[in-house]
Amino acid sequence: MALTAAVSVPFAVTPLRRLSSSTTTRAFSFRVSAAAMAAAAKTAVQPAVVVGGGRVGQALLSMGPPGADVLVGRGEKVPEDAPGPILVCTRNDDLDAVLDATPRSRWRGTFAPLPALLSSPLRLPPGSRAVSCSALLLLVSCSAIQNGMLDPWFESKGLVDANQVLAYFAVSKLGEPPVDGITDTNPEGLTAAFGNWAPAVATRLQNGGLTCKVLEKEAFQKQMLEKLIWISAFMLVGARHPGATVGAVEKEYRSEVASLIAELASAAAEERGLTFDAGIEERLCAYSRAVAHFPTAALAQGKPDPCPLHTAWLKEIKVI
């Protein structure tokens, strides 16, 4: 996957312990200090508007500059003059209301979801494909964080080129630090972002101790599809075996989930006209080992698709 930017974790500028009486030394010290401050300014976390004060919203607030972020609650308007990105941490069925509460001047070129690892089902807009997941949505003037693919919704709102963040981290309880989805196949981390606000979001996440890559759109879309395949396959196999965690699916029902991954990947590649990098099954299983304690759940909406095995198993558990 092509990296387009490397975003450094913000650091504190250490003041000079003493100044030399030498004019040359003083001038050198000033230049070093100014350069350090300039570098810090480039990587400083930008203030943001955070919509939603739940687990993820509070986690994102904790990663920002103290006292500089604006928290917007349910039913409240997004301030028109607030600086920085707008981070929307709500269920995707609240998206219309959030967008309506956001000044149109902040819509331009930006709206996308950030995938937080939650276990409740994702209800997609009419006409979108069935997936099994929930979504954390990040509107960063606008940019979003997602588990599923909300392309039909974006298109209906004229937000085709939305910034997006694919989140491979989880916040178990309110106030707890997020857990990063680092795996044995991807020790550099899996969370990724693309778009003009991607570096700012990456900096915020890194400031909170999380990894985040900034990718070109095509590389991002492949990784987004892999995440969608992961949650669709693992949640469905888990639902066939009540009580099975993500780790149990990977360990005890590997052949079932491998069959679904292969089928879904083939259909997605043909639909999108892309080729996944080799090793998709092992990458997704490695991620499952990293979040082995997660519960599984599934929800789907019936629609003819090129995945008969997936559809048959959904019918078997009476989801469709």
Look at residues 157, 93, 155 and name the one whose alpha carbon lies nearest to residue 121.
Answer: 93
Residue 266: predicted pLDDT: 96
pLDDT in tens, 198-211: 899 999 999 999 99
Q: Is residue 137 part of a domain?
A: yes
> Are 89 and 229 in the same domain?
no
Q: Is 167 exposed, middle or buried (0-12, 13-18, 19+ CB in 10 A)?
A: buried
> Are 230 and 158 in the same domain?
no
d(Cα 266, Cα 263) in Å, to the nearest integer? 5
Residue 191: predicted pLDDT: 92
Last residue in a domain, options 165, 193, 216: 216
CATH of the domain at 149: 3.40.50
> Are 255 and 211 in the same domain?
no
Last residue in a domain, options 216, 236, 267: 216
Please compute the mean of the pLDDT values over residues 279-294 and round it to a whole number: 94
pLDDT in tens, 152-190: 777 888 887 777 888 888 887 888 888 898 999 999 999
Q: Residue 11: pLDDT above 70?
A: no
> Are 102 and 182 in the same domain?
yes
Q: Residue 135: pLDDT above 60?
A: no
> Are 156 and 299 in the same domain?
no
Please compute the mean of the pLDDT values over residues 68-76 and round it to a whole number: 91
Q: Residue 15: pLDDT above 80?
A: no
> Are 191 and 111 in the same domain?
yes
Quote the DSSP letter at residue 156. Answer: H
Highest averaged pLDDT of the listed ranges 132-141, 284-293, 299-308:
284-293
Q: Residue 254: pLDDT above 90?
A: yes
> Are 79 and 55 in the same domain?
yes
> Are 112 and 257 in the same domain?
no
Q: Residue 192: pLDDT above 50?
A: yes
Please compute the mean of the pLDDT values over residues 252-277 and round it to a whole number: 95
Q: Residue 43: pLDDT above 50?
A: yes
Position with higher pLDDT, 145 vs 202: 202
H helix and E strand count, the chain: 10, 12
> Are 231 and 100 in the same domain?
no
| Residue given tokens 């003037």 in the structure block | 141
Positive or negative, the Cα torsion across 89, 95, 97, 100? positive
Position with higher pLDDT, 96 vs 106: 96
- Number of domains forming the structure of the chain: 2
> Are 167 and 256 in the same domain?
no
Full domain range(s) for residue 249: 222-316
Residue 166: predicted pLDDT: 86
> Are 185 and 280 in the same domain?
no
Last residue in a domain, options 194, 216, 238: 216
Q: Across the chain, what does the average pLDDT equal?
A: 74
Please compute the mean of the pLDDT values over residues 134-161 and round it to a whole number: 59
Q: Residue 31: pLDDT above 60?
A: no
Position with higher pLDDT, 263 vs 319: 263
> Are 116 and 170 in the same domain?
yes
